Amino acid sequence: MSELKPCPFCGVVPTLQSRTDMPPYTENSVLVAFVACDNSACMVRPSIACYGEWGMPKSGQLSNGEASEQVSYAWNTRAGESK
């Protein structure tokens, strides 16, 4: 997994959480991976999450590693930068 870039608004390095045991946030989904700025002084405190479906067969769901990769890639994507 790639290293997370700092928050584009405050410069603090965010945290990555990955789990499959969290309660559903909507009727049909469960949080799988989440990146967020933890700086309480940050005026924006951006975050991004990757969700999986409750009730989907395991073969159709992302693994924790895949979800973490996707959410890390999305967090590290910045407007105007080429990858």
- Please report which helix (H) or strand (E) contains residue 48, including its range: strand 47-53
pLDDT digits (tens, 9 = 90+) for 3-59: 999 999 999 999 998 765 555 555 556 667 889 999 999 999 999 888 766 555 555
- Rounded CA-CA distance 69/73 in Å is 6
Q: Is-contact 33 21, C-beta < 8 A?
A: no
pLDDT at 76: 93
Residue 22 burial (C-beta neighbours within 10 Å; 0-12, 13-18, 19+): exposed
pLDDT at 67: 82
The domain segmentation of the chain, as residue ranges, is 15-76
pTM: 0.73
